[in-house]
Structure 1
Amino acid sequence: MKRLLIPLAAAGLTAATFAFPASAEPHWATDPLAPKPADAYSSANFWLDANGAALRKATQYYWDFKNVPKLVGAQSKTPDDGKPGLTAPTGSVATATKVKNVNLPKTIGKVFFIDRSGKYRWCSATSIQSRHRNLVVTAGHCVYERGKDVFRKWVFIPGYYQGKAPWGIYVGAYAFTAYDLDTYDDYDGDYAFVAVHNGVALGAEKEVPLSEYKAWLGDKWIKPREISKEEFLKCQLNLGECWSEGEDKDSDLVGPDHPDAVLEKVETTKEKYVAAKVGKGQGFKFGEPVVEQVTKKQWDDYKGLGEKGTGADKAGNYAITHYYTQKWVKPGTSRKYFEGHYFIGVAKDLGRLGDVVGGQGFAWNQPMNQSVIAFGYPSAPHPDGDKPYTGLTPKYCMGKTATKMYQINTFKVETHQALKCSMTPGADGGPWLIKYNNNKRTGYVNGVTSTFADQDGNNRIDFISSPYFDGEVADVYNQASLAETKAIVSPKGELLQ
């Protein structure tokens, strides 16, 4: 995939053009996810269709437990990269929807996507404050597959709880990440900011006349109903929308060894039954005679092939004995007739992400040994096989980040911050919030969960790490903040162009 470095306007973003000196490398790179409304709607529908079947099928992003890394101490002081900076969080508008655990922020949720092998995956993420209130931050490896192409059908669901999307689904339009992750798969840049379209909720289906169906620009489909031939002829006379499939074709007699042979039973007389052979073949006996108990009137009126006998038995009961032979046939076919019923899907525009759930603040060049809360949806088992988390609900770790930076050779990491925490994969991409206000449920994103480590060698995750958010991260964030997105459905629920 061609990288879109400069200018942003060429990618369809309403933003200024940025130029770099010929000798300078940009700190950031960007890729389109689903900038067109039609593609965005398709992604939303994919995940929400059939009551969220695809969401329930998804599993946490893959992590190879055969090679759980260790953190290696690199330096004992905070990198000198300029002055610390903060961007304040924003609150959210009132809503009737509630999350059961009120201590958790509404901004956190899951991102869902399809990887290169076609598997449905998810990571953790959060809404973050931005100029256009449309930005999500997560781990870079939850947007870019091994630092290369972006994942398909990428969406964010804030407040995700046990398969539900209480505040709608937000489809990724443009992804921004570190140049080094994009180019070298360097996990010092394992973060990504994604500008998302307005949220949508898919409403109930509505049956409409054909004329309204043809004019509808949103989601629509046809449900056929099988009808009789008489109804079909009447539909044609009335110029209705109806059609037929298949053809009328009689069944053929075949041998019992024919690959399409189907066994049927044919009633016959006692004499022919007695004369028939026993075994498997055309005209052979079909099981034992069947005795049917009937009323006196049924017995008197019976004119079939069965044997009536001489009358009632000692108990006054009447019976008819039936005899059957085998018939092996290749089944015929019959023409089927259908009438079209037309349905439209009425979607609802929910507005900008930040207006619905708010956005966490952003912090960079902060000192080490900060008090932090890391949120996420852990799901994978520990390396020893113990599985304490389900991934259905968000969890968190609290503590202070380490006093020094760490290296992780497996991921080309030189400057990661670390936090003692037992959350497992699935928490990838979850935010690290400093200065967290438990009443407002807001803080400042100062990292995202990137890697998991087993420091004491007991086959259990005990540390997580995040890229250090420095001035380069702030550059990427600033570029992402310029990306404008829009609604993908109209107030009527139609797909916008």
Structure 2
Amino acid sequence: MNTRAKRLILPLGGALIATGMIGATLAPSASAQTKPAPVKSGKLANSGTDAKAIAGSWTPSKLKAAKSYLEDSSLSGKMKASTRKASADGKAGAIAPQGAGGKTAGKSKNVNLPTNVGKVFFQVDGKPYWCSGTSIQSKYHNLVATAGHCVYDTDKNKYVDNFVFIPGYYQGKAPWGVYVGAKVNLHTDFSVYEDYDYDYAFVNVYNGVKQTGEKIVDKTTYDAYKGPKWANDVEITKDEYQKKYDEKGGETADAWSKSTGSEVVLPWGTKGGKKVLKEVTKDEYDKAPAANAKVNYAKAPRKTSTEIVDEVTYNNYKGPGYKKIVDSAYTITHYFVKYWVKQTTNVKYYKTVFHIRTFQDAGRLGDNVGGQGFSWNRSTKSKFFSFGYPTSAHLDGDKVYTGETMKWCYGQAGPAPAVAKYKAEEQLAIKCAFTPGATGGPWLIQYSNAKRTGYVNGVVSLTLDTDGNKRYDRITTPYFNSDTYGVYKYAANLWTGKLTTS
């Protein structure tokens, strides 16, 4: 981490401070607002096409393969409460929740879990990770709150890749769709000084998409499609092959042959011989003679195809195909050359079947699962519910969480220990046995068990073992003050829109 001195933070002007606990409203227009000084804002997806590829890349197997993001999120040792105390820098304010955070429940002795809390998935250095997060009220119903270090890599000074939010995540399922991150909004003291007293982020997401299945298409449609796609070869009869061969005037993806036994290479066009194909590397293909050259090992461009695969398939692939990451999508392109042979065994005949993964628009995040409210400059002794997906084992090796289901903690806040490693001096803490994985989950005040909503007044920043007994016993949050409201207010008025699903 950088070792720059922590700057002094001055409270924002009165224009950013609401005067009533429920009376605060969002700004009238995102285009009309000016970005306040402490906000660092940037893109997570460069285009709708890029975002659709990101959504499709998070397959159920990849979601389950992702690891909890442990980087810069925990500490163990004998710790004492910080001598610097968080305090309000203006009047308290709040934005009311939007909708219900799940099916309204009657009176219950159990805690009803909010469906608008879920997991944020992302990649760092090509590896899949996750934290916790929540949908939060905004003008366009498109905002997610999480920890700053779950969206910004302070070591490399860059945003994470392929960010998505899945509300109500449960064992690899996305019941309300997948929401791709479009824009991220941080406090500059986190991005510049790595100051965990500002370890929060508000991410604007596109409309959700649901993967509805797959569709078989022709090669032209397949080549033009920018979402997840793949191809497989299916054996056909000689008669089927000959019919397509005659119809197309030669071999195409709809009909091609392959030798399955030993063969003798003959000069091109020798009577009694047969044209066959061989997959080669891109370098071999680039050096091959042109397709119209009547010689062996010339290019066979009609057979060239590109498939988009998940990260696991991409990393495990060892064949001659050309691997390349294009707009965050993992692609493998297959190249072929043709040559003339006399075969000592039967030729087998194939067609290539092209598949694309199909989607449907799931609508806006807040319309589907509601959004938690937002509050700032509240008492440092408030009582909180915190929700998230803890997964790591305790430091003594005891593993009590799986990370596949949501858990909760409840407690009264107090000053958190000062953690010099993270420049955290004015955080709050509650007693909680969450382990890493819950990072980024909301701290809610005034949580309604019936409506499953409350007011986000913090996010899980650090998980701490404060007495050195190798058991996590505290979670911390930055104190939400007027600066936090300034970042939130800016983010809450940004529009994103929906992805095309065709």
TM over 0.5: yes
Query: Partners of 1:338 and 1:411 in 2: how far apart?
Result: 60
Out of 121, 129, 139, which is 1:121 matched to? Answer: 129
Query: Partners of 1:224 and 1:433 in 2: how far apart?
Result: 53
1:228, CA displacement in angstroms? 3.9
Call closer, same or farther: CA 1:163–1:439 in 2, change over 3 Å. Answer: same
SS at match of 1:236: helix
Out of 77, 90, 100, which is 1:82 matched to? Answer: 90
1:230, CA displacement in angstroms? 3.9
Out of 134, 138, 145, which is 2:146 matched to? Answer: 138
1:417, CA displacement in angstroms? 0.5
SS at match of 2:159: coil
1:72, CA displacement in angstroms? 3.6
Task: Answer yes or no: is the 8 Å Cα contact 1:181–1:187 preserved in 2.
Answer: yes
Query: Partners of 1:143 and 1:382 in 2: how far apart?
Result: 25
1:280-305 Cα deviation digits (max 9, x unpaired): xxxxxxxxxxxxxxxxxxxxxxxxxx
Query: Partners of 1:344 and 1:365 in 2: how far apart?
Result: 50
Query: Partners of 1:93 and 1:423 in 2: how far apart?
Result: 22
The answer on 1:170 being equivalent to 2:179 is yes
Q: State the AA in 2 paired with 1:440.
A: K
1:318-364 Cα deviation digits (max 9, x unpaired): xxxxxxxxxxxxx9887553213343433110111000000000011
Task: Answer yes or no: is the 8 Å Cα contact 2:443–2:457 preserved in 1.
Answer: yes
Call closer, same or farther: CA 1:137–1:334 in 2, change over 3 Å. Answer: farther
Q: Which residue of 2 aligns with 1:487?
A: 498
The answer on 1:340 being equivalent to 2:352 is yes
Call closer, same or farther: CA 1:68–1:431 in 2, change over 3 Å. Answer: same
The answer on 1:437 being equivalent to 2:448 is yes
Call closer, same or farther: CA 1:333–1:105 in 2, change over 3 Å. Answer: farther
1:380-391 pair list within 5 angstroms: 380-391=392-403
The answer on 1:351 being equivalent to 2:363 is yes
Q: State the AA in 2 paired with 1:410.
A: K
The answer on 1:413 being equivalent to 2:424 is yes
Task: Answer yes or no: is the 8 Å Cα contact 2:186–2:487 preserved in 1.
Answer: yes
SS at match of 1:45: helix
1:214, CA displacement in angstroms? 7.1
Q: State the AA in 2 paired with 1:371.
A: K
Rg (Cα) greater in structure: 1
Any gaps of 5 or more consecutive residues in structure 2? Answer: 1-28, 105-109, 265-342
Percent identity over the alignment? Answer: 44
Call closer, same or farther: CA 1:71–1:138 in 2, change over 3 Å. Answer: farther
1:259-295 Cα deviation digits (max 9, x unpaired): xxxxxxxxxxxxxxxxxxxxxxxxxxxxxxxxxxxxx
Q: State the AA in 2 paired with 1:412.
A: K
1:456-475 pair list within 5 angstroms: 456-475=467-486
Task: Answer yes or no: is the 8 Å Cα contact 2:136–2:366 preserved in 1.
Answer: yes
1:306-345 pair list within 5 angstroms: 336-345=348-357
Call closer, same or farther: CA 1:124–1:227 in 2, change over 3 Å. Answer: same
Call closer, same or farther: CA 1:416–1:346 in 2, change over 3 Å. Answer: same
1:45-444 pair list within 5 angstroms: 45-48=56-59, 52-63=60-71, 67-68=75-76, 71-75=79-83, 78-92=86-100, 103-116=112-125, 118-146=126-154, 148-208=157-217, 220-239=229-248, 241-244=253-256, 250=262, 336-402=348-414, 404=415, 406-444=417-455
Q: TM-score of the superposition, structure 1-length normalised?
A: 0.72
The alignment's C-alpha RMSD in Å is 2.9
1:391-448 Cα deviation digits (max 9, x unpaired): 110111111001x354211101111001110100000001000000100000000111
1:17, CA displacement in angstroms? 5.6
Query: Partners of 1:443 and 1:44 in 2: how far apart?
Result: 29
Task: Answer yes or no: is the 8 Å Cα contact 1:364–1:471 preserved in 2.
Answer: yes
Greater shift, 183-192 or 72-81, is seen at 72-81
Call closer, same or farther: CA 1:375–1:93 in 2, change over 3 Å. Answer: closer
Call closer, same or farther: CA 1:469–1:114 in 2, change over 3 Å. Answer: same
Query: Partners of 1:470 and 1:440 in 2: how far apart?
Result: 26
Task: Answer yes or no: is the 8 Å Cα contact 1:88–1:444 preserved in 2.
Answer: yes
SS at match of 2:355: strand
Any gaps of 5 or more consecutive residues in structure 1? Answer: 1-12, 21-25, 253-330
Instruction: Give aligned pairs, total.
Output: 387
Q: Which residue of 1 aligns with 2:31?
A: 15
Moved over 6 A (4+): 93-96, 214-217, 331-334
1:204, CA displacement in angstroms? 1.5
Task: Answer yes or no: is the 8 Å Cα contact 2:76–2:466 preserved in 1.
Answer: no
Query: Partners of 2:456 and 2:424 in 1: how far apart?
Result: 20
Greater shift, 213-222 or 421-430, is seen at 213-222
SS at match of 1:415: coil
Call closer, same or farther: CA 1:109–1:227 in 2, change over 3 Å. Answer: same
Task: Answer yes or no: is the 8 Å Cα contact 2:100–2:453 preserved in 1.
Answer: no
Task: Answer yes or no: is the 8 Å Cα contact 1:78–1:405 preserved in 2.
Answer: no
1:145, CA displacement in angstroms? 1.4
Call closer, same or farther: CA 1:414–1:212 in 2, change over 3 Å. Answer: closer
1:238, CA displacement in angstroms? 2.2
